[in-house]
Structure 1
């Protein structure tokens, strides 16, 4: 800080001019002379002169005192106050007098030009010094002036001058530094920094490119699209090498190829907007903005709160994340589909899936957030349902502020349930076909065993050592035959005798038996709806259904009572319900067709069925009971009877509370326009049987054929055997027969095909088919007049009786 107080001391006012005092004194003297001449009294003249003197002195004191005081204030100024006032960190300030002497200056002037330098004599270039001297003259003349472009080795300044002081005897100098910005460096810093990240978040790829085409800086969005990595350093790389174009001049990223999303290229030259630097445009750096063609610049988009309010009302499961993968919001349908019970979503989408799928989901969200605006799916397993993969749809979005990825998850709980039901029905159908085939083959084996037992019993009498053993073998064979009948019932291939009936009548017939069956500890409650529709079913088979369900209910209740140590309290409810088409629609079941039904419901309060087992309870040989307490065929038989009757059965259960079986049988509506069935006329009149006869026996199983042949021969029939349908046709051509006894399923040519060929030759010849399948099914498939049926397995007596009845014409 420099300054000079003595040089700047302000002088006092100069004395009044002499002529003013002479004129004043002459006026007073003249007045005194006139008074002396008029009055002639010296005292009066002396008093006049003295009074004028006193008044003059008083007036001078009145007008001179403030001025003298003010002059005394400025006479000795405090320059430390002035120095403090001009101290600045951004502007150099100096004060000079008319002689060009430096009065004072702040510290910044000393740093820039030296402590003793007084403007305009500063260490500047010659041209700058001349500019400053010209500005000095203009300031003394006009009061203010300025000078631009004052250059030295230390920098460049702009000077502003103004005249100041009471007498405007001082010049105040202000020197402002002229900062030359490197626009390219500044722009590169912004694109590689916070501004570039903000552009990336909005999906704008940007890069600063030098005149030679080298990349100076690029944001993460450009690096991601160009190289696949947002952290890739592209400094010095060739900008054009990352882009390609097609014949339509559309621009693509080279890494994505022409199958990628085209981009719009916006070119902004980086030039000084003030025009200070005259730069050749060919040597100017450039800022490039790349925008996906699907988007665009300046599009008006709704704010994120409005989007959230809109998506919250949709029934679709929708959510949105930011570019870091954090949830911005998720609607109720999305959280419900994800099995998330809280209304507030977790921090990340990966929190909804199992541990093994977290990495894949995080990578997918990051890829769609930083890449091009595309969509896709990723298969994940939710924590709420880890056993069932679901498809989570993702789509990159742009122009929604923080929103970057839109997630969509469908609530597939109902769809999953329906799929499970359809899969269960398909599986049951496949198992039923397998069970029917097994039962058919097993029936052939049982027919041979039972037949040979009958033949051996004919040679033994009660009391023989082998008689009881043979009877035991036959009894066990008959027991096995009952198992095959259950398998046939499950596979819907047993013989039914359907009737039009009311379900309450069937329940009333079997109620007494059910009470004895479930025991006194368990209460049987029976309730019926009114206006129940008629159903068409086999009453005997329906009774079998009720018995099987009641036995299972009894066992479940007894197991529960034994577990808790109770002696009673079990209840079995047997209910009939009227189900209308409107009720079926309200159920929204894809399995049950819309229509009117009469429902039979059997419910118990036993231990229930576990969720993992309820889908398997109708499968043959599957049982939830302890080993040795169940065959696993009870519910499979129920399932087969219900399905063969045209009905549907559903099971519901909650462990420890209840189990409910609901059977829906369609209401039978007779068709008045349906013609009454007519009896087909035969080619010749019925003839009486007189005993004996020639029989053609066609059976591919050797043991069954041998047993049937021996049984018929013992009855006096003449039997010709054939191993398949072709041999049977050859035998017909060689001889005459009264009856054809044939198996249905045979290799090469089956029984029905052989029968049709024989009817072309012998229209009147009767047929007796042997099969383990249902008679109704065979009649629908074969549809041959004068056809009869014998179910396997059969005994020797049964086949002999069947042949005799056919030959008698019954």
Structure 2
């Protein structure tokens, strides 16, 4: 006879947690030399018998960890590389990124062997330059152990009185528990030792497929089996088996088999329900109602009432087929009316000997699992889009460097009033506008090169005020309000101006008939942040900027998506979907936070929080002098120019030659090393960072072996922050693409200035 199968959801075995929480053998605390201070003191602070703790620094290196961390993760490795699978590593990486950005990150359930862990990541330290990782075991319900206890107790006795024999069978086919009625029929005594025995050997089947107990032989009554796997995704997992005499037909009512089965199902944390031959619900436990989204509501009449309209037919047909046909089971994917976006598995099996109940249904509440999967997918998508944006910006910057450079070279041969002068200037202006688009792409992916300064937000608003008035037009009133005692912030003023402009343009589009746009700056104290009780905003002092409009507002279902890249509610051709994502990228890369508040027809407010800059006393007493631009850009000396893009190499060579330098070019790192060997010592090495076969940093390390004092100027279309780890070399300058002829000449002269101020002459080879 076919076994009815396909129910339930897996439960985490507490035995796995007990194994993971075993006392850890004494192990050395991993402390990086010079990083962790006093290892013994730090170990005493973080040591715990129940929580694994690790501390990492800004470079991702493990500073220290307690003994339990080493025991759980088979040694002292820095998170996120802890041997928890690709998905686990991705989730830990996302949590670490959230902690660096927002001060705190979390992973709800991280699978480590047979154990599930919750992970809290907190940014800490005097300079907030460390991450503290705390791993805790997730206490969970041991379904197998609970089922064994129920069968051995009153629930098992009541099932036996109703003529239902029940046994718990492990994945290896051996019995791990059962009620007294099963022991009596299978082994001859109600107190017989049945645990550990092979379940299949207690049964026999004749040529007609009828199943009987082996000890009763052909004289025993045929049996009907109902199998309930505890994990539908693991066929080898534990299974609860109900056995009923084939000729027993107890009536539904008090003391019947069905009522006792309902009692047992009601105790289990899995979602179970019973339906009759016509498909009417007879019973559902609380877990089923909660998973179906009808908890606390009037119970539905039919199973098909739980699903969306498109799935009603298949659910009704399946229930009728299983209720009238031979005992069988199966799973169907459906979408619940309560959660139409998340498909779930509905398990259905035919049941016999339970009175009016002929169908057993099971539903797993996997909302948390689906949410985690969506978060991982979103993080992966954002990372991929960010890498794509950075790659596009790099290639585009190379093209713009060539265009802007050739425009500058042509302008050297023309004077104002020439017929071509204005056209060349227009080409150059449009190229600079295109360059701002690449900066927008990098801002959205949080890869732009920032030039942070200590500044006051009201000064930034004042700088952009006149531009905003022209952008908003005559129908929109611009109002500016500044608070008192505002702390200074550290950010790139140009990028903050872009943030304000983008928010103002969005507000203008939301007020087609006119309205009021208000820019308000104010101080937010440590105590006020604590009263907010925000899970995202770390406690601290902030200077805030609120941008409020009186426009149409943002619908509640759209509000969570507004910072996503390429998301826009505007018509095709009227928006790129990068405006607010660019704002978000700039704010987060500047160490700040941004929130949106909106109601339909009530306007929208964007609130930007930037942390107050804690400047050193000496730094605040002696403000930095503005850097003077050199008045004379002509120079002398020999420069080795290394660039794999021919168009960039050509324009850079001509620009440097026109400013008095002798230029030797190379197309890659290997050719550059040959030029270093063949020519006299060079005064300056200008190199692209990312090149095929040998990149710029590798070239420089080889060059410095022979010429340790050789000045280096890197240029790249990627952002400096993105490349900083790979160009971790002393005494190097960086020139971002696209650059003009004048900017290249200024950078070359600045790189040569310390050398020419010293002994002069070419670079000297190392002894």
TM range (shorter): 0.5 to 0.7
Shift of 1:571: 6.7
Question: Which of 415, 426, 429 is equivalent to 1:472?
Answer: 426
Q: 1:381 to 1:266 in 2, by over 3 A?
A: farther
1:788 paired residue number = 733
Q: Deviations over 1:370-426 (max 9, x none)?
A: 7999987532123455443223355777887655424334272x7656654554443
Contact map agreement 2:503 2:580 (CA 8 A) in 1: yes
- Corresponding residue SS for 1:741: strand
Contact map agreement 2:271 2:363 (CA 8 A) in 1: yes
Shift of 1:265: 7.6
- TM norm structure 1: 0.54
Question: Take 2:269 and 2:546, find their aligned partners in 1: how far apart are those partners?
Answer: 35
Q: 1:783 to 1:373 in 2, by over 3 A?
A: farther
Question: Take 1:380 and 1:479, find their aligned partners in 2: how far apart are those partners?
Answer: 51
Q: 1:371 to 1:647 in 2, by over 3 A?
A: farther
2:203 paired residue number = 250
1:702 corresponds to 2:646: yes
Taking the TM superposition and a 5 Å limit, the aligned residue runs for 1:260-275 are 264=213
Q: Deviations over 1:20-63 (max 9, x none)?
A: xxxxxxxxxxxxxxxxxxxxxxxxxxxxxxxxxxxxxxxxxxxx
Shift of 1:738: 0.2
Taking the TM superposition and a 5 Å limit, the aligned residue runs for 1:183-198 are none
1:382 corresponds to 2:336: yes
1:712 corresponds to 2:665: no
Larger Rg: 1
- Corresponding residue SS for 1:390: strand
Shift of 1:548: 1.4
1:607 corresponds to 2:552: yes
1:391 corresponds to 2:351: no
Shift of 1:476: 1.2
**Comparing 396-405 with 424-433, which one deviates more in the overlay?**
396-405
Q: 1:468 to 1:306 in 2, by over 3 A?
A: same
Q: 1:371 to 1:758 in 2, by over 3 A?
A: farther
Question: Take 1:499 and 1:316, find their aligned partners in 2: how far apart are those partners?
Answer: 58
Taking the TM superposition and a 5 Å limit, the aligned residue runs for 1:515-664 are 518=472, 537-556=491-510, 558-559=511-512, 562=513, 568=515, 592=536, 602-609=547-554, 617-618=562-563, 623-626=568-571, 629-630=574-575, 632-647=577-592, 649=594, 656-659=601-604, 661=606
Question: Take 2:447 and 2:723, find their aligned partners in 1: how far apart are those partners?
Answer: 9
Question: Take 2:203 and 2:523, find their aligned partners in 1: how far apart are those partners?
Answer: 72
Q: 1:550 to 1:771 in 2, by over 3 A?
A: same
Q: 1:543 to 1:458 in 2, by over 3 A?
A: closer
1:436 paired residue number = 390
- TM norm structure 2: 0.56
Question: Take 2:399 and 2:683, find their aligned partners in 1: how far apart are those partners?
Answer: 28
Contact map agreement 1:740 1:768 (CA 8 A) in 2: yes
Shift of 1:773: 2.2
**Comparing 781-790 with 374-383, which one deviates more in the overlay?**
374-383
1:737 paired residue number = 682
Question: Take 2:554 and 2:660, find their aligned partners in 1: how far apart are those partners?
Answer: 58
**Comparing 493-502 with 705-714, which one deviates more in the overlay?**
493-502
- Corresponding residue SS for 1:780: coil
- Structure 2: runs of 5 or more not aligned: 1-161, 166-197, 227-239, 618-631, 756-767
2:721 paired residue number = 776
Question: Take 2:564 and 2:257, find their aligned partners in 1: how far apart are those partners?
Answer: 57
Contact map agreement 2:553 2:603 (CA 8 A) in 1: yes
Shift of 1:737: 0.2
Q: Which of 1 and 2 has higher RCO (CA within 8 Å, sep 6+)?
A: 2
Q: 1:263 to 1:365 in 2, by over 3 A?
A: farther
Contact map agreement 2:685 2:712 (CA 8 A) in 1: yes
1:408 paired residue number = 363
- Corresponding residue SS for 2:639: strand
1:343 paired residue number = 297
Shift of 1:356: 3.9
Q: Deviations over 1:163-212 (max 9, x none)?
A: xxxxxxxxxxxxxxxxxxxxxxxxxxxxxxxxxxxxxx9989xxxxxxxx
Question: Take 1:327 and 1:671, find their aligned partners in 2: how far apart are those partners?
Answer: 71
Question: Take 1:379 and 1:255, find their aligned partners in 2: how far apart are those partners?
Answer: 34
Question: Take 2:527 and 2:216, find their aligned partners in 1: how far apart are those partners?
Answer: 72
Shift of 1:486: 1.4
- Corresponding residue SS for 1:380: strand
Q: 1:806 to 1:570 in 2, by over 3 A?
A: closer
Taking the TM superposition and a 5 Å limit, the aligned residue runs for 1:49-198 are none
- Corresponding residue SS for 2:408: helix
- Corresponding residue SS for 1:804: helix
Total equivalences in the alignment? 527
Question: Take 1:449 and 1:477, find their aligned partners in 2: how far apart are those partners?
Answer: 7
- Pairwise CA RMSD: 5.1
Taking the TM superposition and a 5 Å limit, the aligned residue runs for 1:645-684 are 645-647=590-592, 649=594, 656-659=601-604, 661=606
- Structure 1: runs of 5 or more not aligned: 1-200, 205-244, 270-284, 673-687
Contact map agreement 1:585 1:594 (CA 8 A) in 2: no
- Corresponding residue SS for 1:729: helix
Shift of 1:343: 1.7
Contact map agreement 1:203 1:398 (CA 8 A) in 2: no
Q: 1:530 to 1:397 in 2, by over 3 A?
A: farther
Q: 1:393 to 1:294 in 2, by over 3 A?
A: closer
Higher share in helix: 1
Q: 1:509 to 1:355 in 2, by over 3 A?
A: same
Q: 1:317 to 1:703 in 2, by over 3 A?
A: same
- Corresponding residue SS for 2:432: helix
Question: Take 2:477 and 2:339, find their aligned partners in 1: how far apart are those partners?
Answer: 39
1:83 paired residue number = none
Question: Take 1:530 and 1:770, find their aligned partners in 2: how far apart are those partners?
Answer: 43
1:454 paired residue number = 408
Shift of 1:758: 0.7
Shift of 1:720: 0.4
Shift of 1:477: 1.2
Question: Which of 729, 739, 744 is equivalent to 1:799?
Answer: 744
Q: 1:397 to 1:501 in 2, by over 3 A?
A: farther
Question: Take 1:744 and 1:689, find their aligned partners in 2: how far apart are those partners?
Answer: 24
Q: 1:338 to 1:286 in 2, by over 3 A?
A: closer
Q: Deviations over 1:631-651 (max 9, x none)?
A: 544223213212323455565
Q: 1:463 to 1:391 in 2, by over 3 A?
A: same
- Corresponding residue SS for 1:487: helix
Question: Take 1:399 and 1:493, find their aligned partners in 2: how far apart are those partners?
Answer: 67
Shift of 1:695: 0.3
